[in-house]
Amino acid sequence: MAKKVFITSKLPGKIDRYLRSRGFTVSVYTGKEPVSKNELIKKASKAEGIITLLSNKVDREVLDELSNCKVIANFAVGYNNIDIQYAKKKGIVVTNTPGVLSDATAELTISLILACTRRLIEAEKFMREGKFKGWMPDLFLGTELKGKTVGIVGAGEIGTEVARRIKAFKTKIIYFNRSKNSIIENELKGKKVSLDFLMKNADIISVHLPLTEDTYHIINRSNLKLMKKSAIIVNAARGEVIEEKYLIELLKKKKIKGAGFDVYENEPDINPELLKLQNVVLLPHIGSATTETREEMAMLAARNVEAVLKGKKPITPVN
C-alpha cells in the first residue's frame, strides 16, 4: 500500500502533486482556520509522513497519537513548535527548511530597518489621509544609516546575509554569536562582542536567534535598558527571545527611538499596547514571504519526507 502523507495546510507550489508522483497518498488540510490540535491528531494519526507549519503545536499528546509516523517535516527553519526530543524517543525524524529562506528574510529585515529609521509607515499614512501640503524642511525627519553601528544578534545564515546587505549602507558591524563568523569579520570587517556591549553601543540592533531554552528572553530587562535613546531594534527571528513587555515599556516612555516587529512573544496574539504606539512598525510574520522562497521551502519539506519514507537519510534533520 502507498504510504500516507498529511500536510497541515495548502502550501505554495505543487508539492502534493510531486509526492503523489513519487507513489505517496497525500491529503491536505484545507480549512480556513489553522488546523486544531484535535483535527491534527484525527487527520494525521495514520500518516507515515507529516508536513507541519510553525503554528502547529506537535507536543507529547499529539506525538503519542501518531502511531505510524516516521517523519515530521516542519515548513520553517525554526522547530520550537515540535517536541523534538520526544519525537526522537519515538523514532520520528524531524526536519526543517534552513538555507532557502535566508535571502528573503534578510531582505525583509532591511525593509523593516528602513521603515523604522525613515518613518515610512507614518509618512505613507500621512499621505493617504491627505495631510501633505508641500515639502517642508522638518517633515518626517528620520535617521541616516551611514556611519551607524549595526549590532547583529545571532550570526547564522540569516544574520550573515543581513550584515552583508546593511554594510552597503556604509555602516559598522558588530555581532553577538557563540562562535566567530569569518564572513562578517573578514569580508565585512565586523567584530564579535558580548551581548551587553552590543546592546549598549549599537545604533541599530537586528535579532536573528533561534528560540531555544538558552535564548528565551536572552534580550531582557537587564540589557534592553543599556540601549541608546536613539537606538532602534528589529526582530525577524522569534518573539520569545525578547522580553516584549519591557521593550514596550521602553518604547512607551521613549527611552529608545523605535522598534520593528515581524514576530511576537505570544503570536498570533499581539500585545494591544503595541497597536497604540507610533514608534513601532508591525508586520504579520512575513520574513520568508516570497513566492520563490515559500515554494523552495515546500519542496525541501516534501523531499525530506520522501527521503525518510524511502529509507534514505533526511536532507535537513534537526533531531
Q: Which domains does the chain have, with CATH numbers?
A: 4-100+291-309 (3.40.50.720), 102-282 (3.40.50.720)
Q: Mean pLDDT across the chain, nearest whole number?
A: 97
Residue type, 120: L
Task: Let me know: does 17 contact 49? Beta carbons within 8 Å.
Answer: no
Closest CA to 189 of 203, 171, 206: 171
pLDDT tens-place string over residues 2-11: 999 999 999 9
| Cell numbers placing 284 | 504579520
What value does the mean pLDDT take over residues 207-229? Answer: 96
Confidence of residue 226 (pLDDT cuts 50, 70, 90): very high
Q: Is residue 43 packed enough to be buried (19+ CB in 10 Å), middle (13-18) or exposed (0-12)?
A: middle
C-alpha span between 44 and 8 (Å, rounded): 9
Confidence of residue 32 (pLDDT cuts 50, 70, 90): confident
What value does the mean pLDDT take over residues 220-239? Answer: 97
| Catalytic center residues | 238, 267, 285
* E strands, the chain, in order: 4-7, 25-28, 49-52, 71-74, 93-95, 149-153, 172-176, 191-192, 204-207, 232-235, 258-261, 280-282
| Residue % of the chain over a pLDDT of 70 | 100
C-alpha span between 281 and 275 (Å, rounded): 9
C-alpha span between 153 and 315 (Å, rounded): 27
Query: Scanning the structure block, which residue is given the C-alpha cell 527521503?
Result: 307
Number of H helices, E strands in the chain: 13, 12
What value does the mean pLDDT take over residues 39-51? Answer: 96
pTM (predicted TM-score): 0.91
Confidence of residue 181 (pLDDT cuts 50, 70, 90): very high
What value does the mean pLDDT take over residues 241-254? Answer: 98
- The pLDDT score that the predictor gives to residue 184 is 98
Is it the case that residue 1 has pLDDT exceeding 90? Answer: no
Closest CA to 70 of 318, 307, 245: 307
C-alpha span between 187 and 180 (Å, rounded): 13
> For residues 177, 182, 187 and 193, what is the CA-based torsion angle, rounded to 10 degrees?
30
Task: Let me know: does 42 contact 20? Beta carbons within 8 Å.
Answer: no
Vertex 206 angle, CA 267 and 231, to 5°: 105
C-alpha span between 288 and 285 (Å, rounded): 8
Closest CA to 296 of 160, 110, 96: 96
For residue 89, CA distances in Å to 60, 92, 133, 195 come to 11, 7, 66, 35
